[in-house]
Structure formats: C-alpha cells, structure tokens
Chain A
C-alpha cells in the first residue's frame, strides 16, 4: 500500500508509513517505507529553504557504493589555517598582549574544539546508491558511522525485495549487465587532444595570475607604500576571488581531485592571505591604541607607521605578513600544480585500454 502522509496534532515524529533511518536535520534525512527509500535533501541558506524528495525503490537499486571523502582533509586544513592565524596574531602583538591573546583564543579554541569533534565523529565518507536510472549521492551521509547505519538497514531490505529477480547468469564469472555502470566513466579524450586541465574552467589561469600579483604586491608594500598601491592590490584580490568563484561554481570535476580541489585550496589561501593581512593590521591597531597612539590615524601612512611600531626586538609586522602571504601563495601554487599534474596523469591512464573480464 502506498504510504500516505497526513499531518495531525500531536505531531508524529515521522511521516506516516515511514521509519527513520538517518536524520541530519537541515542537512537532509532518510526514511524507510515498505518498498522504497525516501531521501529528503534541502537547499540551505542558514536554514533549509527548499526540500527535494526522491523515492528510490528497493527493486531498482543495483549497488550501494561508499568511499572515503575529502571533507575531513579540508576540515583539517581549515582548522590548521585558523591555528596558524592565531599564532601569527600572538607573534605579531606579543604573548603578553591581552587583546591579542583574546583574539587568538577566539580563533584557536573553537578550531581546536572542531578538531576534537571531527576525530570523535570518525572518518568522513561518501555514499552513493546506483539505480537502474543513474547513481544518487546521499549528501546527508558524511561519516563512517552513517554509512554503517544505512548499509545495515538498507541492504537486507533490497535483497528481500529483489529475491524474485532472476540474476544468475550461466557463467557466474561474467560481467554485470550492460545497464550497470557504477563508476563515472572518464571523459572521452583522444591522443590528438590530450587534456591540459581537464575539468578546469578557463578562468583558472587568470585567477592564479591575479592571486600571485596580489601576493607580490602585498609583499611589495614594504617598498612601495601608498594608497594607490593598496587600492590596486585590493582590485587584484577581488579579481582573483571573482575568477576563482566563477571557476569553482562552473568548473567541472565531481569527486575527483584536481578540479574543484584546486580552487578550494586556492580560495582558502586567498582568504587566509586577506584575513592574515587584516588581522595583523588589527593587532597593530589594538596595540597602538593601548599605547595611546590612536590619535595618529589621520592618514594611511601614519596608520602603517603605527602598525610597525612594535616593541624593540620584535619582527616588523609587514615583513611577517608579506612573508607569510608569499609562503602560503607558494604552497597553494605548488599544490595546484601537483593536483593538475596528477589529474592529467589520471586522464592519460584512463585512455589505456582495459582488459575485458575473462569468460
């Protein structure tokens, strides 16, 4: 009997006819009915604005696939960046500076808490359900524990629903049916047209160029210090950010690294560069204001002079910021190059003829 949904008071915790399988709140949820799996996905902007419902019949599910995802790695990268920024603040302003200690703690403590929670929750995983029509990625399944929960409940139900389906081939070692394509095929490439940056948007190179120029100008502020330079630097930063966002949203690449992974990394480095620069400026301002120098902020030059007036023996603020930004940009450039080389290598490998299964 097809389950019907009715709303009544007091509110039931589950739609009528459904059993809860996985409820991630605004991230989506999974519900089990007698003959199908209900997948509720949400479109979020702070709160879920739209819900999308998919019903996957147990009889149509061909395979359940799961693999390790990159979410955990990027989370650790983000947390590390926050910790580096906190350390930077303390190095610039001094460990005995209360304001700097407060800002650094405000960044470091939540980051450390997030790191602990991440390790407690376990490895990040991605789960896909392959049906006769297409594969569906269940975005609300993000951890190993979620995968175990879904597999434990779903697999027996699918096998029970499909027990009448004739599936035994005369040769048990033969390949699955032609409709079964569990893994995304590599994009068609030829030896005449090898991929240079397959999956990358044409704005990738301009984004990198603007980012490098921004970083170089940030370091060059030690030599050329003027409002025009600052404005030009901000224009390059904005151009780099815009190119990266367009390339990120429109560039190809799904689960594979090298496409979106490059831009996520570059985006994070750009964000770190901006944040590091302005946080350093804030630390300098805070320290200057504590010393009572706030009346000198009448021009940009005096502002920069105030930032540079650190206790004797401490490194120059702008030098530290510039060197940090250059180092981070260099890391992101190397990472981007490595990812691109790796992706090209994967594409060339996928062009090699595969050995058909022996009959």
Chain B
C-alpha cells in the first residue's frame, strides 16, 4: 500500500454471528479521537464571562437566546451554536422542528380509533373508541403531523367515521328506548 492509501471497502466477518459483512470505511474512522478541550486559564479582567459559569471565559454566542457562553455550556447543532438550556427547551417544546426527536401521529391514532369497528373482533369497543377519536381529532386539528408534510386527509376520514359511528349509536339508543317504552 502506498502512503495515505485508505481502503474504501473491505469484506470481513462479524465476530458474533460469523456472517460476511461489507464495510465502506470513511476518513472519520481513521481520524484520531479529539477529546473535549480542558478549561483554559481563568478569565482575565475585561474578558467576557460565561452566562452560566462565571469562572469560565465566554467563547461563543447562543444563536437562540443570544447569551455569551463557554464551550462547556454550548453545543453544536448543525451549523448553529446553542446553549444547553436552550437546547433542552427547544427539544421539550418541539416548536423548532430541527430539534424534534419524536412526534406522535395524531391523525393515524384517530384513524385507528375510528376504525376499531372494522378491525377488531369486538365492535363494542367502538362505544369508547368513536367518541375518543372525535375528541382527539378535534384537539389535534392544528397540531403538527409528520415531519414529512402531508394533508389532513387521514384526520378528516377519522372524524367522519367516528361521527357516523356516534350517530349510529345514538339512533340505536333512540330506537332501543322507544322499544322499551312501548313494551
């Protein structure tokens, strides 16, 4: 091998299951590990101080809240620098989709609940599921759906199905009461 040659692909065997594995190695695999920088010298008079730790020197600006923070209190998020508190708030609030790690699919949940009468063996579950689908559908109307943009079609279908089921149940109850009264 010549100096600097980096094998692009390699075939080997997994140590656990002995199956052949194809691996494409990238330059990062051979880069030396870079440990986080140790805290530097205490800040000199006149130096900007970290907002969260006054014993450290501020090295960057949080792109979210604008405070000056040290490297220990900041994190790289793509091309942005955010302080750790903003990172936690952004992940919890979910308002910024680039910080979201998970999302509930309310439209699919409502669709499943409104379809229980068709997919479950016991249609009596619809007595609970249909109203639940209607309430959840109305509450989730303005909530964000999948990260991949899609319409409210599923939500509309769920609302229509659940409404029809509730209507059918009410009509059934009406006729049942009528029959009980006449008998």
Contact = CB atoms under 8 A, between A and B. Distances in A.
Contacts of A29: 148
Contact of A67 (B19, B33, B79): B19
A49 B104 contact: yes
A2 B16 contact: no
Interface in B22-36: 22-33
A177 B149 contact: no
A146 interface: no
B5 A162 contact: no
A54 B137 CA distance: 27
Contact of B16 (A8, A14, A183): A183
A158 interface: yes
A169 interface: yes
B1 A172 contact: yes
A300 interface: no
Most chain A CB inside 10 Å of its own CB: which residue of B4, B27, B78, B109: B27
Given A7-B149, A68-B19, A151-B24, A167 B105 contact: no
B149 A2 contact: no
Given A67-B21, A168-B4, A172-B4, A179 B30 contact: no
Contact of B21 (A14, A47, A66, A132): A66
A48 B146 CA distance: 10
Given A168-B4, A178-B33, A51 B105 contact: yes
B147 A60 contact: no
A141 to B, nearest CB: 13
Given A7-B149, A62-B29, A185-B15, A35 B79 contact: yes
Interface residues of B, number: 53
Contact of A49 (B1, B21, B100, B108): B108
A163 B97 CA distance: 29
B18 A346 contact: yes
B101 A53 contact: yes
Given A48-B105, A63-B23, A186 B16 contact: yes
Contacts of B144: 7
B37 interface: no
A163 B29 CA distance: 13
Interface in A111-141: 130, 132
A53 B97 CA distance: 10
Interface in A155-202: 155, 158-159, 162-163, 165-169, 172-173, 176-180, 182-186
B102 A172 contact: no
Contact of A5 (B24, B98, B150): B98
A49 B109 contact: yes
B31 A68 contact: no
A309 to B, nearest CB: 31
Contacts of A51: 102-103, 105, 146-147
B79 A2 contact: yes
Contacts of A226: none
Contacts of A168: 3-4, 6, 30
B80 interface: yes
B148 A14 contact: yes
Contacts of B33: 177-179
A52 interface: yes
Interface string B120-148: 00000000000000000000000011111
Nearest to B6: A167
Contacts of B149: 7-8, 11-15
Nearest to B18: A346
B16 A15 contact: no
A130 to B, nearest CB: 8
A53 B149 CA distance: 14
A324 B119 CA distance: 32
A59 interface: yes
Given A53-B101, A68-B20, A162 B112 contact: no
A155 B24 contact: yes
Contacts of B148: 14-15, 29, 31, 40
B109 A177 contact: no
Given A2-B77, A47-B111, A167 B28 contact: yes
Given A167-B30, A350-B15, 7 more contacts: A36-B78, A51-B105, A51-B147, A166-B32, A172-B5, A177-B33, A346-B16
24 contacts: A2-B80, A3-B98, A4-B97, A7-B144, A7-B145, A50-B105, A61-B26, A61-B28, A62-B25, A63-B26, A66-B21, A68-B19, A132-B28, A155-B24, A162-B28, A177-B29, A179-B33, A182-B29, A183-B15, A186-B15, A255-B19, A257-B17, A346-B18, A350-B16
Interface of A: 1-5, 7-8, 11-15, 29, 31, 35-36, 38, 40, 42, 45-55, 57, 59-68, 130, 132, 151, 155, 158-159, 162-163, 165-169, 172-173, 176-180, 182-186, 254-257, 346, 350
Closest CB pairs A-B (n = 10): A256-B17, A167-B27, A62-B29, A5-B97, A47-B108, A167-B30, A2-B78, A162-B27, A168-B4, A67-B21
